[in-house]
Amino acid sequence: MNADTSRQNAAEWEEGAQLFDRTTRDLPPGRHQFHKERMMAQIHEAQQAQQAQERPAVPAKAVRRLRLPRPAITLPALAAALAGVVVAGVVTSGGGNGDGGVATGPALTTTVGVATTKGVPQLLDRIALAAAESDHPAVKPGQYIYIESRSADTFIKTVDDKSTLASHALHRRQVWESPDGTKGWLIDAAVNDSSEGETLSLPDEQGNTPEAYLNAPSYAYLAKLTTDPDALLAKIYKETKGAGNSPDQQAFTTIGDLLGESYPPAELYSALFKAAAKIPGVVVVDDAVDAVGRRGVAVARLDETSGQREEWIFDRKTHVFLGERSVQVNKNSGVDALIKPGTVTYTSAIMTRAIVDGIKQTPSQAG
């Protein structure tokens, strides 16, 4: 195969990422995230391989050894291949293999809350202060970060060329991860066919051990990040360049992902909110509800391309992060017109975030 097939330009990278997003809309969020993280790890390594190839020659000891082989096909083809496999699983599942043990039902809906730019800096300052003052112990070697949540989603389901809108019922998701990110476990009925869950430990089934990075971080990786809000935001923009529907939206989404299933060290946790306040287009939604019905105030941003608004929901008094949701705000065309304004495409609520001494151990089981 011609070696030139491994050299992608920026347009191809963006095309591939958008293709993956489009073709995996009907996946439950857990399975979507599972495959997305694996594909993004390959993309990340391939980008670094390309950059290393294009840089002037340097001594061998100065070049980081890549732990994943560079794809031999262009990224759009890689995205299509991966997305095609997982989407096919949903299409042919009929509520079985692709859905795990989660029941399906009608679309999730809500009233679209009124958004305003008024008070955004003040609210995020209060949230950052609350984050800085919260009990946030460091994770020690041998311990695990345990996060339990409840989630549900609405998706377009296509069977025999017929598309309908459906949802997965609210269900429990449990994740364990070691500080270095090399050991972990996941129990999620929307992802796992077994109630026992599946390992997230590395190396993966292909024998690869991807290094942690911004969109797939470990606690150890996060502990090394700058806590200066301006420098942190600059790093986020730089490392997510070309991803998502716009640089600002991708920066907002990246921070939102870190608020959910990760455990940023205390100073970084506060810095993330200060960085978010600097992203253009961030608004406040005065009334938002998380997956288990807890009402709060949301920090949000509208993705102008998809018409969906990503909302981070906080307790109105304590400013503790409760969860997140994505709400369709604008009308779509084509098959996406099935997702009408007011549709909740994804919702989650963080129930427990704790440090435990063993994999698959819950806080209630601790000494």
pLDDT tens per residue, range 300-338: 999 999 999 999 999 999 999 999 999 999 998 888 899
Tell whether 77 and 200 lie within a shared domain: no
Tokens of 170: 């609210």
Q: How many domains does the chain have?
A: 2
Distance of alpha carbon 36 from alpha carbon 350, whole angstroms = 21
Tell whether 288 and 178 lie within a shared domain: yes
28-56 mean pLDDT: 45
Picking from 99, 115, 137, the residue at the C-terminal end of a domain is 99
Tell whether 177 and 257 lie within a shared domain: yes
pLDDT the model gives residue 96: 37
- Whether 268 contacts 102, CB under 8 Å: no
170-193 mean pLDDT: 93
Distance of alpha carbon 111 from alpha carbon 103, whole angstroms = 24
Tell whether 163 and 91 lie within a shared domain: no
| pLDDT(76) > 50 | no
pLDDT the model gives residue 84: 33
pLDDT the model gives residue 20: 46
Picking from 56, 75, 99, the residue at the C-terminal end of a domain is 99
Average pLDDT for the chain: 79
263-281 mean pLDDT: 96
| pLDDT(183) > 80 | yes
pLDDT the model gives residue 240: 94
45-66 mean pLDDT: 36
Tell whether 170 and 282 lie within a shared domain: yes
- Indicate the pLDDT class of residue 366, thresholds 50, 70 and 90: low
Tell whether 79 and 187 lie within a shared domain: no
| pLDDT(111) > 50 | yes
pTM of the model: 0.75
User: Which of 66-75, 200-209, 288-297 is predicted most confidently?
Assistant: 288-297
pLDDT the model gives residue 100: 58
| pLDDT(56) > 60 | no
| pLDDT(270) > 50 | yes
Contacts of residue 240, defined as CB under 8 A and 6 or more positions apart, other chains included, come to 214, 215, 247, 250, 251, 254
Tell whether 205 and 188 lie within a shared domain: yes
Tell whether 51 and 198 lie within a shared domain: no
| pLDDT(30) > 70 | no
Tell whether 278 and 195 lie within a shared domain: yes
Residue 161 backbone class (left: φ over 0; alpha: ψ -120 to 50; beta: rest): left
Q: Which residues pair with 104 in a beta bridge?
A: 168
| pLDDT(175) > 70 | yes
Tell whether 76 and 144 lie within a shared domain: no
Tokens of 157: 């389901």
User: For the segment 191-227, what is each residue's pLDDT rounded down to a tens digit?
Assistant: 887 788 999 998 877 888 888 999 899 999 999 999 9
| pLDDT(295) > 70 | yes
Tell whether 49 and 81 lie within a shared domain: yes
pLDDT the model gives residue 138: 92
Distance of alpha carbon 76 from alpha carbon 240, whole angstroms = 17
Picking from 80, 99, 118, the residue at the C-terminal end of a domain is 99
174-191 mean pLDDT: 94
Give residue 8's domain range: 3-99
Count of other CB atoms within 10 angstroms of residue 181:
23
- Indicate the pLDDT class of residue 68, thresholds 50, 70 and 90: very low
Per the model's pLDDT, the better-predicted residue between 85 and 192 turns out to be 192
Q: What HEC string does the chain produce?
A: CCHHHHCCCHHHHHHHHHHHHHHCCCCCHHHHHHHHHHHHHHHHHHHHHHHHHHCCCCCHHHCCCCCCCCCCCCHHHHHHHHHHHHHHHHHHHCCCHHHCCCCEECCCECCCCCEECCCHHHHHHHHHHHHHHCCCCCCCCCCEEEEEEEEEEEEEEEECCEEEEEEEEEEEEEEEECCCCCCEEEEECCCCCCCCCEECCCCCCCCCCCCCECCECCHHHHHCCCCCHHHHHHHHHHHCCCCCCCHHHHHHHHHHHHHHCCCCCHHHHHHHHHHHCCCCCCEEEEEEECCCCCEEEEEEEECCCCCEEEEEEECCCCCCEEEEEEEECCCCCHHHHHCCCCEEEEEEEEEEEEEECCCCCCHHHCC
Residue 249 backbone class (left: φ over 0; alpha: ψ -120 to 50; beta: rest): alpha
232-255 mean pLDDT: 96
| pLDDT(109) > 60 | yes
Q: What percent of the chain has pLDDT over 70?
A: 72
- Whether 349 contacts 290, CB under 8 Å: yes
pLDDT the model gives residue 367: 57
Tell whether 29 and 178 lie within a shared domain: no
- Whether 216 contacts 176, CB under 8 Å: no
| pLDDT(190) > 90 | no
